[in-house]
Amino acid sequence: MRLSEFFLPTLKETPSEAQIASHRYMLRAGMIRQSSAGIYSWLPLGFRVLKKIEQIVREEQDAAGAQEVLMPTIQPADLWRESGRYDDYGKEMLRITDRHDRDMLYGPTNEEQITEIFRASARSYRDVPRMLYHIQWKFRDEVRPRFGIMRGREFLMKDAYSFDLDYESSKRAYNKMFVAYLKTFERLGVKAIPLRADTGPIGGDLSHEFVVLADTGESEVFCHKDLLDMPTPGEIDYSDDLQPIVDQWTSVYAAADDKHVPSECPVPEADLVTRRGIEVGHIFHFGDKYSRPMGAKVAGPDGQEVTLQMGSYGIGVSRLVGGIIEASHDDDGIIWPKSVAPFNAGIINLKPGDPDCDAACEALEAQLSGAGLDVLIDDTDERAGAKFAKMDLIGLPWQAVIGPRGVKNGIIEVKRRRTGEKEELSTEAAVNKIVGFE
């Protein structure tokens, strides 16, 4: 992709409304533009990151045995009246009326919708267990949307739902999602700590939120120091008993803020550490909170009706874009982990129009693209300093600088964005360096 053809409306100055790093850099890097309060358009650079995060989330959900569906953004209010949440949810729910005076709503979550889908189809204990998920836009009418996509009104979310015959099998589903989340966040290149959490308006008696550690995080996190270096599980067989893995992570104390730290903390003071964090995922086990009032039942092995046990599992896909930036940036801009970078490498042509420089850039792009990498070539007529600043701002993992002197000597200057380390390498060595990067 050539930068001269790529829609990348970067900004030199930080907009006054941007208060945190992710909001500043997403606006300046041309990733998003505000449409109205708390609602954003995703421009090509930001959309590429969003789709990469979405795909990693999807792959880990599939690996855990969840099946993808797609539910509507607009839901009938009657479903929420069945569960008893329509009047209880609060003003965050956008309530609307269609042309036939039917009460509708823009879904803030989908427990009712998925329960209606499943109850209409499941008849027997043989129809469970099942886990269904979708990745869909949600709307919550925040009273004070702020921090860009971190606390917006419209957001992209992965929400999964499990249906099981009894508590023990539903706890196994909960454990699968717990482990799948650990693996998801590792692949996204961030450190996420699972914290025991309040269930809030979702309900239930078991819940964990996953918090990405970042110096600029919105919440103060208190946890045992061992959690900071706890290894993420390797290869997982989701048919195995995953309780030991969950126990390993939850046996060490962690809390989201000082309001949840008991006066007699079980962690010795020497082992207790404080960090800042950003919530990016939340899982719930809520039993029959929705299945009972909505009549989601199946015939058990003995022929008697059994009310299904349920759980729900959310990941803020769009929120993760901001969370990753908060955890990975410097004074010059974003530093993308390899797995979610919009492009793997940026090639800076210091003299566009020069036949030798143009040919060298095209040759390097061909080799990197042939190795499966996404490449952005800066072929614009901007001065060199502006090109370097833009590449640092958008945060691609690698930069390759090609100019007349380097072409003459057969070398390319390669820079790793995260460390700032620069090397002058042959074309072959530069390709091997960038392609072999983990």
Rounded distance between C-alpha atoms, residue 85 and residue 16, angstroms: 38
DSSP string, 365-406: HHHHHHTT--EEEE-S---HHHHHHHHHHHT-SEEEEE-HHH
Inform me whether the pLDDT recorded for 262 exceeds 60: no
Please report the DSSP string for 208-260 in residue order. Answer: EEEEEE-TT-SEEEEEEGGGGGPPPP-S--TTS--HHHHHHHHSS-EESSGGG
Q: How far is CA 365 from each of CA 111, 192, 245, 303, 393, rounded to the nearest angstrom?
A: 47, 35, 43, 64, 21
Average pLDDT over residues 10-37: 94
pLDDT in tens, 27-69: 999 999 999 999 999 999 999 999 999 999 999 999 999 999 9
What are φ and ψ of residue 31, in 5° steps?
A: -85, -35
**Average pLDDT score, the chain:** 93
Q: For residue 64, give both structure tokens.
A: 């855990």
Q: Domains of the chain, with CATH numbers?
A: 3-334 (3.30.930.10), 343-435 (3.40.50.800)
How many Å is the maximal CA-CA distance in the chain?
Answer: 82
From 14-23, 62-71, 74-83, 387-396, the region with the lowest mean pLDDT: 14-23
Helical (H) or strand (E) element with 421 = none
Write the DSSP symbol of residue 130: E
